[in-house]
Amino acid sequence: MGWRARRAARLRLPPVDGQHEDQLYFVPSFGRAHGGGAHLWPAGRRDEPPVSGPEFPAKLEGAMSGPVAIYIHVPFCPSKCGYCDFNSFAMTGPIQGETVDAMEHEIRTSPHAGRPAKTIFFGGGTPTYLEASQLARLLQAVLDTHPAGAETEITTESNPGTVTLEKLGALRQAGFNRLSLGAQSFATQDLVQLGRVHGVAEIAEAVTAARQAGFENLNLDLMFGLPGQNLARWRNNLDQALALHPDHLSLYGLTIEPNTRFFRYFQRGWLDLPAEDTMVAMYEEAVARMTAAGLEPYEISNFARPGRRCQHNLAYWRAEEYIGYGPGAVGRIGTRRGTNLKHPARYVEAVRAGEPLWLEEEELSHDDLRLERIMLGIRIEEGLDLAAVPLSDTAIASVTEPGWATTEGDRLRLTPAGRHFASEVAVRLA
């Protein structure tokens, strides 16, 4: 495997609906276990050096003063799900309040204070496991530090089992205008198996409460390829999700991650996982049903009604800068990317002591940035901007001749068939 394939395999992508910093979803996620059956095909031979252009580094240098995407990581959950390798902790008691205090301090003392917020996204973990007053306080700290306009998209993720009409009303009043609900499945056996704390009925109850609270922009997360799941059960999931009339829907295939209960079950042969062709059929079924329901695919795993595309997601997929606050949050400014200390207690200690918060810091090379721009750009419907990332004719032909991509003007876009080979497309183009 070449360096680009190795780099692709370990790339940390920023968080969007239903996925987080440590999750590697740059393909439809039909893979099973990273390092084993992951959906990353071997790289083809590359005899030509990467093509570069003056616009690519210039765009990075000019980006460090304008509006920026803001991510707030709330690391707490009611419990740890069996598939979850996110930076999340099933912790209660004083540590929650101490972490909120530390997060507010980090935000208000940010060296990036004054940069306007392009979007604001609270992820986790389960942000709504905190009190509404705590989330409102953190949001106010962000708004005081990063001015936002009246139309700025402000999202919080949520578990249906951690919200009430009263809490959602308080969040809406605080300024949150987009809610992302982690439904995951409408089958009780799936929810129990995944370790979710909510039941099927609570999903519809949460959607109803969100609408009553004034949320006009609502996302649902769904997972497919779950143990024991077949195409009929997946169709039922889609039908029930669409019956709730979400404005946005994110879907992800189950990936078995190391250091999770599911990984141990997988190693012991305890998981009855759908075959690869069933996974593909599930994905295609979702695309067809959501398109028919008016949810347009604008990224491999994300679908939205007109005017409801997630602007926070798009900022990431366009390889724009992002600032992360909170335990384990990832941020990238210019060519520097860093990850905060992950454990809440260690993070709190560092904030109190005035110590650096970054656990990891990485200086990204031109090749790193170029590869990430390619990997992210091919995911979205608008395609990869060839003016920003020039490619050789040979590289373009390597993905258009198999029917995986097309070019029109200065854009390269995946075909429907190409969505299943996104990682191979990225490696060939890089």
Which tens digits make up the pLDDT trace of 384-415? 999 999 999 999 999 999 999 999 999 999 99
* Burial of residue 341 (number of CB atoms within 10 Å: 0-12, 13-18, 19+): buried
| Cα separation, 230 vs 235, whole angstroms | 9
pLDDT exceeds 70 at position 9: no
| Cα separation, 52 vs 367, whole angstroms | 9
Per residue, the 3-state secondary structure of 51-91, as one string, reads CCCCHHHHHHHCCCCCCEEEEEEECECCCCCCCCCCCCECC
pLDDT exceeds 60 at position 14: no
Q: Quick one: pLDDT at residue 57?
A: 36
Which of 38, 52, 46 has its CA nearest to residue 4? 46
Q: Quick one: pLDDT at residue 328?
A: 97
Domain ranges for the chain, please list them.
3-13+38-59+366-429, 63-317
Q: Quick one: pLDDT at residue 92?
A: 94
Query: Tokens for 384?
Result: 């990869």
User: Against a cut of 0.85, is the pTM above it?
Assistant: yes
- Length of the chain counted residue by residue: 430
Mean pLDDT of 77-90: 92
pLDDT tier, 65 (very low <50, low <70, confident <90, very high otherwise):
confident
Q: Quick one: pLDDT at residue 18?
A: 58
| Cα separation, 269 vs 275, whole angstroms | 14
Mean pLDDT of 66-90: 94
Q: Quick one: pLDDT at residue 16?
A: 57
pLDDT exceeds 70 at position 20: no
Per residue, the 3-state secondary structure of 137-151, as one string, reads HHHHHHHHHCCCCCC
Which carries the bigger pLDDT value, residue 50 or residue 335? 335
Residue 232 phi, psi dihedral angles, 5° rounding: -65, -45
Using the structure block, give the residue that is written with the tokens 């949520």.
158
CB 137 within 8 A of CB 100: yes
pLDDT tier, 52 (very low <50, low <70, confident <90, very high otherwise):
very low
Poorest-confidence range of 77-91, 102-116, 176-190?
77-91
Which tens digits make up the pLDDT trace of 196-208? 999 999 999 999 9
Mean pLDDT of 363-368: 95
- CA dist 167 → 135, 212, 240 (Å): 10, 12, 25
CB 86 within 8 A of CB 23: yes
User: What percent of the chain has a predicted confidence (pLDDT) above 70?
Assistant: 85
Using the structure block, give the residue that is written with the tokens 């993905």.
399
pLDDT exceeds 50 at position 40: no
Mean pLDDT of 98-108: 99
| Cα separation, 238 vs 244, whole angstroms | 10
User: What percent of the chain has a predicted confidence (pLDDT) above 90?
Assistant: 83
Helix axes 366-377, 422-429, angle to 10 degrees: 140
pLDDT tier, 35 (very low <50, low <70, confident <90, very high otherwise):
very low
Residue 10 phi, psi dihedral angles, 5° rounding: -115, 10
Query: Tokens for 259?
Result: 């250091």
CB 135 within 8 A of CB 174: yes
pLDDT tier, 15 (very low <50, low <70, confident <90, very high otherwise):
low
Bridge partners of 120, per DSSP, are 70, 154
pLDDT exceeds 50 at position 62: no
CATH code of the domain occupying 63-317: 3.20.20.70
pLDDT averaged over every residue in the chain: 88
pLDDT tier, 61 (very low <50, low <70, confident <90, very high otherwise):
very low
Which tens digits make up the pLDDT trace of 303-331? 999 999 999 999 999 999 999 999 999 99
Per residue, the 3-state secondary structure of the chain, as one string, reads CCHHHHHHHHCCCCCECCECCCCCCCCCCCCCECCCCCCCCCCCCCCCCCCCCCHHHHHHHCCCCCCEEEEEEECECCCCCCCCCCCCECCCCHHHHHHHHHHHHHHHCCCCCCCCEEEEEEEECCHHHCCHHHHHHHHHHHHHHCCCCCCCEEEEEECHHHCCHHHHHHHHHHCCCEEEEEEECCCHHHHHHHCCCCCHHHHHHHHHHHHHHCCCCEEEEEEECCCCCCHHHHHHHHHHHHHCCCCEEEEEECCECCCCHHHHHHHCCCCCCCCHHHHHHHHHHHHHHHHHCCCEEEECCEEECCCCCCHHHHHHHCCCCEEEECCCCEEEECCEEEEECCCHHHHHHHHHHCCCCEEEEEECCHHHHHHHHHHHHCCECCCEECCCCCCCHHHHHHHHCCCCEEEECCEEEECCHHHHHHHHHHHHHC
Q: How many CB atoms lie within 10 A of CB 176?
A: 26
pLDDT tier, 19 (very low <50, low <70, confident <90, very high otherwise):
low
pLDDT exceeds 60 at position 60: no
